[in-house]
A and B are shown apart, each in its own frame.
Chain A
Amino acid sequence: MILVNTETIPGMRIVEAKGVVQGNTVRAKHVGRDIAASLKNVVGGELKGYTELLTEARRQSVERMLAQAQQLGANAVVNVRFATTAVTSGAAEMYAYGTAVVVQPGV
């Protein structure tokens, strides 16, 4: 499965558009992580726990989007976009969406 955030894929030709596919997830870190983050807050710097939270959320939402694309019989998703929503403290909703297409080699 090819995944890009551009409208075209170099060296490939879009032969069929299958429609918009999407995937989302709301993930939260356990309290331990939140406490560790609040301690790190004192000195500043990267809050790795929260970075991981976002990375995991992004991977999960992309996986769900890809599963939808596969169901539609697509072999690529173009114009992928990410959006996040504030849900509650220490939790994040990650939403990935894009257009599922069928591509073939050629220009």
Chain B
Amino acid sequence: MQSEFIAELIWLGLVVAMLLVASVSGLIVARRHNARLDAGERETQHIVMTDLRSFPGGAGSAGATLVAAEAVIAVDYFRSWLTKFVNIVGGEAGIVTRTAIRARREALLRLKRQAESQGHNAVCNLRVETCNIRGAEAAKKKAGVILITVLVSGTAYTRPS
């Protein structure tokens, strides 16, 4: 009886330890990612991005081309689990909001870098979409963690400086 109790305690301790490790490392991963995004956005701030269909400031430019990028970011296990409680009481699931922001920033940064690598300094007709790569699993809410999947596309062109 006592040994069963101890075994259960150990099991519970392991689960708590795993959640703690996931929580702390999730925080570190997010901070590092944000720092990388800040640096990348500073480097590419000269690239003008709009969601206009026309080519603002570059109507006569040649060599316009399609650019597209993706990013798949996961919310760590601990915070995914915490979000289930938000589902009960309602309200904003801040961690998911912040992860979605990071995923979009990452995809947009990749788009800007693609435009830059092709010698362009502007992107227009920006489209931001999400996609589901886990299929029915996520729909049935069987999935343990939350995945944010972003697909962005646009047309890169050159604005005369």
Contacts and interface: CB of A to CB of B under 8 A. Distances in A.
Interface stretch (B3-11, B21-29, B40-48, B86-94): B21-29
Interface residues of A, number: 39
A84 B135 contact: no
B135 A89 contact: yes
Given A11-B61, A44-B76, A44-B99, A6 B125 contact: yes
A31 B134 CA distance: 14
Given A43-B25, A84-B151, A51 B72 contact: yes
Interface in B10-55: 18, 21-22, 25-26, 29-30, 33, 53-55
Contacts of B151: 54, 58, 82, 84
Contacts of B29: 43-45
Contacts, number: 147
| Interface SS of chain A | mixed
A37 to B, nearest CB: 8
A92 B75 CA distance: 20
Nearest to A47: B72
A87 interface: yes
A92 B133 contact: yes
A40 interface: yes
Contacts of A91: 133, 135
A78 to B, nearest CB: 9
Contacts of B72: 46-47, 50-51, 54
Contacts of B65: 2-4
Nearest to B129: A82
A84 B132 contact: yes
A95 B61 CA distance: 29
A16 interface: no
A62 B70 CA distance: 15
A11 to B, nearest CB: 5
A85 B7 CA distance: 45
24 contacts: A3-B65, A4-B65, A6-B53, A6-B125, A8-B54, A10-B60, A10-B62, A10-B64, A37-B74, A42-B18, A43-B22, A44-B77, A45-B76, A46-B71, A46-B106, A47-B73, A51-B71, A55-B69, A81-B153, A82-B151, A84-B129, A84-B131, A86-B133, A91-B135
The 3 A-B residue pairs with the shortest CB-CB distance in the complex, in nearest-first order: A44-B76, A84-B131, A86-B132
